[in-house]
Amino acid sequence: MSSHIIEQKNNPSVSIEPIQSHYFDQWLSQQRQDIKNLVSTFDFNNKIGSHLCVLDQHRNLEHVFCVIGTAKNPHDFSRLPKELPLGYYLIDSDDNELVSAAIVGWGLGSYAFDRYKKQKPCAILTVNNLVNHQRAMETVNATKLVRDLINTPADDMGPTELAIASASIAEQNNASYQEIVGEDLLQQNFPAIHLVGRASFKAPRLIELNWGKATDPLICLVGKGVCFDTGGNNVKPANSMRNMKKDMGGAAHVLGLAQMIMRLNLPVRLKVLISAVENAIAGNAHRQGDIVTTRKGLTVEIGHTDAEGRMVLSDALTYASEFNPELIVDFATLTGAARVALGADLPPVFSNENDFNTEIMACSNEVFDPLWSMPLYQPYKKQIVPDIADLRNTGSVPMGGCITAALFLQEFVGENIPWVHIDTFGWSNGRAGHPKGGDALGMSAMFNWISKRFGA
């Protein structure tokens, strides 16, 4: 639980009064003259996210006004924890949905990665009956988990450490845990995962968590866990490699999503699969032009060693399909092309079920975690079919890269199995509620959709 959000237990908390922006003038007209003077002095207006502090006669903080929109957007509250003076605060509202939005916004805005450097403290939100806001709190907790995992440097979050973190999450939530490591990947037919990860001194592995009742519908969550990506023998330039600790962001997202599902006890059976590798450079690293026979039996020509994410996902998607789940969802920091198409804050979502795209976008808007539907445009498949293998891990032209990557993954999803692919950035360049660094983009949206689809 976030230490910046606690149960109200007679804490001397300052009241925060939300004002809807379109009611601002009406609100102002009803205030006493000293408040009107403060509004004028500090140019407090109807800008969403702004706030005004009111002092008592002893110059102690007495009250806070903040401006919000009408949609109960958590981001309207996200600046408060780091902009308000240190202390305890309470949202002055009987609207549980609004309080939940404030909890999420406070959690998003108060986050700081403090593993290696002490961070400045910030204001604390107190909440009456916090038990009534469990989903909001688990959204905050899962987002923190995702951010912490991504922000941790590769030397402390390689395949070995990612496995340890996954095992800890499994233990905390009464899930079973197992992993297939190193040469055992070849023995148990996960050749593509082994191919990409074999050059690292931290052995590649397939991580698996299982949770839930056998009678509940099975959902498989598959995450790309490339804990550092040099680009392999097609080495990345320095500026592109700088933040490649984030290339395990897909794994972080499925762990965060799984934690939400387990802690909120959704009526599903969960299988989490993470292909954890480091795409390193060494004498035994895979090469451009190599051909690997995947778990599915399809041969893949390596068009570029920096298109490794889809390779490690191929075996995991095949394995997931063998259980004939009712749904497969994969998260991956897969392509720069997705960022070119939609920017840093809007991950594309692909699905082999057309109805899913509309549903998911609607669910993402409800929780202010935007996703945008993209097509599995089948004519582009010819761009990933080479002359000497079944598939190639890069397209023959540089255009439409996030689509050809999704089409590649689709080849490894079992026939008639509903599948969703999210090409997330896993990173924020800095905006309200999203400090620069690792970030959860699409996780809350997918939880909202899954919880609705499976009857929670």
- Name every residue whose Cβ is closer than 8 Å to that of residue 349 and which is 6 or more positions away in sequence: 357, 360, 361, 371, 372, 373, 374, 420, 421, 422, 423, 442
Distance, first Cα to last Cα, the chain: 23
> Within 13 Å and on the Cβ side, how many CA atoms surround 17?
12
Query: Alpha helix locations (H) across 289-442?
Result: 309-321, 336-342, 354-366, 401-410
What is the three-class DSSP state of 80? helix
Is 310 noted as a catalytic residue in this protein? yes
DSSP state of 49: T
Q: Is 392 one of the annotated active-site residues of the chain?
A: no
Catalytic member of 205, 245, 310, 339: 310
Query: Radius of gyration over alpha carbons of the chain, in Å?
Result: 24
State residue 229 phi and psi, 5-degree precision: -125, 100
How many C-beta atoms surround the C-beta of residue 24 within 10 A?
18
**CA distance linking residue 258 with residue 204, whole number of Å:** 22
In degrees rounded to 5, what are phi and psi of residue 170?
-60, -45
Asked if residue 16 lies in contact with residue 92, where contact means CB atoms within 8 angstroms, the answer is yes
SS3 361: helix
Say if strands 348-351 and 419-423 run parallel, antiparallel, or are unpaired: antiparallel
Catalytically active residues are: 236, 310
